[in-house]
Structure 1
Amino acid sequence: MSSSSTMANGQAPYVMGRDGKKTFLGDEAYKVVQSVLAAFSGRQEMLTTGEAAAILGVSAKTVARMLDAGEMKSERRGISGHRMVSASEVIAYRERSAKAREKNLTQARHIAFDSGAYDLDQGSIPTRTR
């Protein structure tokens, strides 16, 4: 593959939905898809903070903060000491985060229901605070 992400037949890479519709991928999206597939195939592929950020939908700086906080394991590579994180670690973190988010939202819904927040007349709720 070249850096412009064209396939051997000259086409841009794409993913195909269940409906047969092709979604063509740019360079960054192509790298993310490769990383995710590697993680699910069991192959241990190391990602940069930028690549991990693309998978998680956050900035590379946020991934660096997550690594500093120990939320994901990483290792430093090369003379420059760039941090690398395994694709499987990123996918596992994403799954843990989704489960925690769902748990917290469920708890918030229960609290709102128990406190009667769903019983309020919608007209009595202010739409502007300033």
Structure 2
Amino acid sequence: MTAELAERTVLPPQVPLDHLADAVRQPSGGRVELVSPAGERIVLPEEVVDVVRLVVLAMAAGQAVTIAPQHQTLTTQEAADLLGISRPTVVRLLDRGEIPYQQPGRHRRILLRDVLAYQERRRHDRRASLDRLVELSEDADLYEATDTPRRTR
């Protein structure tokens, strides 16, 4: 992988991005162009415009942004760090087939897109479970039953 395609995390600049964030929130209304230092105008594909919009909004909110190619492979430790779980848990997920992987030699390699897909499935499952829990609580009138705080000791 060349240096240009490597993962990179960028911190938000010290200058406020409010004006830029306001500009990217507006519908593009057609084509968006990039002007090169030489003055050449390049029309950006809508996918690139969407990425720029997300990056600007995140940075305007004070968040760092990490850009990584989707075909990038991760070690089990890198996948664990990304998911916020332990490496042995990632290995169990791989062994159960919840995340596909390749093992060209001794070490497992996981595609970043597969880790992100698993993360999105888990996020969706959590939301659905929480929605179901709220629904059950409302049906059982549990919200009203706990209006008055009780002493626990």
Return the TM-score normalized by structure 2.
Answer: 0.58
RMSD: 2.5
Count of aligned pairs: 102
Report the counterpart of residue 90 of structure 1 in structure 2.
115
Match of 1:18 among 52, 59, 66: 59
5+ residue gaps, structure 1, are 2-6, 8-12, 26-32
**Structural mapping, 1:1-130, within 5 Å:** 14-16=10-12, 17-19=58-60, 21=62, 23=64, 33-34=66-67, 37-39=68-70, 44-78=71-105, 81-123=106-148, 125-128=150-153
**How has the CA–CA distance of structure 1 residues 121 and 64 changed in structure 2, closer, same or farther, with 3 Å as cutoff?**
closer
The letter of the residue matching 2:124 is K
| 3-state SS of 1:93 partner | helix
Distance 1:22 1:86 in 2: 25
Shift in Å, 1:14: 2.9
**How has the CA–CA distance of structure 1 residues 21 and 124 changed in structure 2, closer, same or farther, with 3 Å as cutoff?**
closer
Distance 2:113 2:103 in 1: 17
Preserved contact between residue 73 and residue 89 of structure 1 (Cα < 8 Å): yes
Shift in Å, 1:19: 2.4
The letter of the residue matching 1:91 is L
Preserved contact between residue 74 and residue 86 of structure 1 (Cα < 8 Å): yes
Distance 2:118 2:94 in 1: 11
Shift in Å, 1:77: 2.6
Percent identity, please.
29
